[in-house]
Amino acid sequence: MSKSKKTIDNKTRNLAPSGLTWKRDAFCSEYLKDRNAAQAAIRAGYSERTAKEQGYRLLTNVHIKARINKLCREHAQKLKIEVTDVLQRLWDKATADVNELVRVERRCCRYCHGVDHEYQWKTVREFRGVYDKEIRKQFGTDDPDKLVEVGRKVDAGDRIPGLPTDAGGYGFDQTANPNPECPECAGEGIVEVVVADTREALSHPLYEGVKQTKDGIEIKIADRAKALEQVARHLQMFKDEVKLGVSEDLIAAARAISAASEPLTPNYVRENAHRLDELD
């Protein structure tokens, strides 16, 4: 066997089935895990000192890009993911209504719908609980005679300073609208932040979880603007040169996904192309 043939055989044995070197093939597989070129290069066996430069250089290689694209298609097929599924999810996120997750509402105050605009209670139990607590606070339980005297005054309809009354009635509905004639809130009501039950929001395209902060519960909401730009990027709308024929086809594709929403126009895309820098 000639020396040149032996050299070719040795090179072939050092190549992965993809035709790349084993290290480059490993880089492609590692890159798909987190899309971090530097970390993928380190995990594939390249030097940590030059990993950033190596990762960038590898991604510019035509054969490596082809291998990564092929692996992406294979992964998508295994997961039964179609491009249209991903695009639909992004479009749903970009056009979703955030008010379905969290919103600010003006609701009635306790005096809006009470009898003669007196304080209105939800139930008799709520009133009795507050009333009994105030009795114990003001008069205690050490003097039964004093408590009997208080009871007699209450039964006679006398008003005792500091004690709540049920003159405003019952049936307070905290979801009701403000009463424009209410003298207490002047028809403004009170501001309430309404958060959706997350058991019902798990499938909402904007819902990304909750976290407890010092100020209360915070709903994590997806970035709709970023999702919209990802749709535009996927449909190749962000180009220095936009050919009208192609753009019309792409806009028609966006309209087919959400017929209820206006599609992006070429003018809008041109004016906002600089925003891609924020994503990078």
Calpha distance 152→239 (Å, rounded)? 85
The DSSP bridge partners found for residue 218 are 211
Q: Is 123 in the same domain as 175?
A: yes
Instruction: Report the pLDDT value the prediction gives residue 277, as an integer from 0 to 100.
Output: 41
Q: Average pLDDT of 175-187?
A: 93
- Name which residue leads in pLDDT, 49 or 90: 49
Q: Is 7 in the same domain as 41?
A: yes
210 — phi, psi (to 5°)? -130, 160
Calpha distance 82→89 (Å, rounded)? 11
Residue 118 resides in a domain: yes
Q: Is 68 in the same domain as 129?
A: no
Residue 101 resides in a domain: no
pLDDT above 90 as % of the chain? 25
Q: Is 126 in the same domain as 167?
A: yes
Q: Is 171 in the same domain as 135?
A: yes
Residue 17 resides in a domain: yes
Q: Is the pLDDT of residue 276 over 50?
A: no
Q: Print the domain residue range for 24.
A: 3-81
Residue 99 resides in a domain: no
Q: Is 64 in the same domain as 123?
A: no
Range with the lowest mean pLDDT among 133-137, 139-143, 170-174, 211-215?
139-143
Most confident of 26-35, 69-78, 269-278: 26-35
| Residue at which a domain ends, from 18, 47, 81 | 81
Q: Is 70 in the same domain as 116?
A: no
On the CB side of 1, CA atoms within 13 Å amount to 7
Instruction: Report the pLDDT value the prediction gives residue 18, as an integer from 0 to 100.
Output: 86
| Residue at which a domain ends, from 66, 81, 96 | 81
C-alpha angle 42/65/70, rounded to 5°? 105
Where do runs of H (alpha helix) occur along the chain? 3-13, 22-34, 37-43, 51-59, 62-79, 83-95, 124-139, 144-155, 198-201, 224-234, 244-257, 266-272, 276-279
Which CATH number covers residue 60? 1.10.10.1400
C-alpha angle 145/150/153, rounded to 5°? 130
Calpha distance 280→270 (Å, rounded)? 18
Q: Is 181 in the same domain as 113?
A: yes
pTM assigned to the model: 0.45
Structural domains in the chain (count) = 3
Residue 60 resides in a domain: yes
Q: Give the position of tokens 């996120």.
A: 93
Q: Is 162 in the same domain as 235?
A: no
Q: Is 184 in the same domain as 234?
A: no
Instruction: Report the pLDDT value the prediction gives residue 186, as an integer from 0 to 100.
Output: 93
Q: Is 186 in the same domain as 113?
A: yes
Q: State the helix-helix crossing angle for 83-95 and 244-257, rounded to 10 degrees.
A: 80
Residue 164 resides in a domain: yes
Residue 128 resides in a domain: yes
Residue 121 resides in a domain: yes
Q: Is 185 in the same domain as 113?
A: yes
Instruction: Report the pLDDT value the prediction gives residue 207, as an integer from 0 to 100.
Output: 74
| Residue at which a domain ends, from 13, 47, 81 | 81
Q: Average pLDDT of 158-177?
A: 86
pLDDT confidence tier of residue 14, bands split at 50, 70 and 90 = confident
